[in-house]
Structure 1
Amino acid sequence: MARTAMVVVDMLNPYEHADAEQLERAVEPVVPPLAELIGRARERDDVDLIYVNDNHGDFTATRDDLVRRALDGRRPDLVEPLVPPEDCSFLPKVRHSAFFGTPLEYLLGQRGTDTVLLTGQVTEQCILYSALDAYIRHYSIMVPHDCVAAIHHDLGLAALRMMERNMSAQVTQARGCLT
């Protein structure tokens, strides 16, 4: 049973929204360390790799639909290295938290998870709210700051500080995770 769940949040993004250019700039440096961390997670039996991605209001969209839309979007170079492997869990979401309206809590319980490793975008929104939901469910939280991207740099830093101070999150670097 996996004790750690690495949750990759909202990285299947077509980057076709109002603040996309700002987000793209923040995502660019995140892709290489995140891809490397995903690779390390896949090599370990005690880590469960779970992708949770916004369905953008399309409740008929499948995993393949969301991958294709992201790859056909403005920045396939930010998506391709992070496409979810077929053998990992994939959960569509509709709001900010990876827990809201998804079976994530049930999945983590079934797999004996005690630590949630949050990665992806957007730090001051989906990552922050997912961390809060993990915290109130008594999970330990890890957030590699080089594997999350913020739209607003100052708010991203504030969100990381809130997670660390208010939710006892371990904010670290990717290289310090899963070693």
Structure 2
Amino acid sequence: MDTSDRTALVVIDMINTYDHEDAELLVPSVRKAAPAIARLLRRARAGDVPVVYVNDNFGEWRSHHGELLETALAGPHAELVEPLRPDGASLFVVKARHSIFYETPLHYLLTQQGVGHVVLCGQVTEQCVLYSALDAHMRHLRVTIPEDAVAHIHEDLARAALGMMSRNMDADIRPADDIFL
């Protein structure tokens, strides 16, 4: 396999306390998406596929990924975070804006790992996942979105976002269990 054909599983914003605006709309969708994300994580780890967590820092500029995880696990929805927590081999990138690429070292990291294909899972479909898929497409990465492993705030906007990713970004949209890792 050409190394630029290597796949990475990218987990977006799943280390979360869910104490923000719209959380009450998001949490039910996260509950539905989390099992599919957990299955993707197990398959990626078993197959030696790079797993990269890209997560908001929630304005905590002095924190690192361990502190973000500890805070989320101490929060009111730790049961959503625990099954998806990074393991010792996981890579972690902190972001401050919607796109996983905006002013982060992610593209460089993926290049160093020989990644040409990203599977984007996590939250929020109509926000961070959509903008990240666009930025991945603009960087000539192949994009796959497991439709059952992304969580939304607004279902109608999420459906539209998935349609846009498929049509405008050539993203492969399919169930998580149908994705080859």
Does structure 1 residue 116 correspond to structure 2 residue 108? no
- Secondary structure of 1:114 counterpart: strand
Give, as a single letter, the amino acid of the residue that structure 2 aligns with 1:28: R
The equivalent of 2:109 in structure 1 is 107
- Correspondence for 2:152: 150
5+ residue gaps, structure 2: none
Within-5 A mapping of 1:17-166: 17-45=20-48, 47-166=49-168
Superposed displacement of residue 90, structure 1: 0.5
Please tell me the residue identity of whatever aligns with 1:17.
H
Distance 1:73 1:157 in 2: 29
Measure, in 1, the Cα distance between the counterparts of 2:88 and 2:114.
22
AA partner of residue 119 (structure 1): C
Q: CA deviation at 1:124?
A: 0.5
Report how far residue 175 of structure 1 moved: 0.4
The residue that corresponds to 2:10 in the other structure is: 7
For 1:151 and 1:72, how far apart are their aligned partners in 2?
A: 23
Point out where structure 1 has 5 or more consecutive residues left out of the alignment: none
The alpha-carbon deviation at position 178 of structure 1 amounts to: 2.3
CA distance in 1 between partners of 2:109 and 2:18 (Å): 29
TM-score normalised according to structure 2 size: 0.96
Q: TM-score, normalised by structure 1?
A: 0.97
Query: Cα offset for 1:121?
Result: 0.2
Return the alpha-carbon distance in structure 2 between the equivalents of residues 64 and 137 of structure 1.
29
**Structure 1 contact 41–178 (Cα < 8 Å) conserved:** no
1:57-102 CA-to-partner distances (Å, cap 9, x unmatched) read: 1111111110011111121111100011121100111000011121
Alignment check: 8 A CA contact 1:97 1:130 kept: yes
- AA partner of residue 68 (structure 1): E
Q: What is the RMSD computed on CA atoms of the aligned residues? A: 1.1
Partners of 1:40 and 1:178 within 8 A in 2: no
After TM superposition, the runs of 4+ consecutive aligned structure 1 residues lying more than 2 A away are none
Percent sequence identity over matched residues?
Answer: 50
Counterpart of 1:18 in structure 2: which amino acid? E
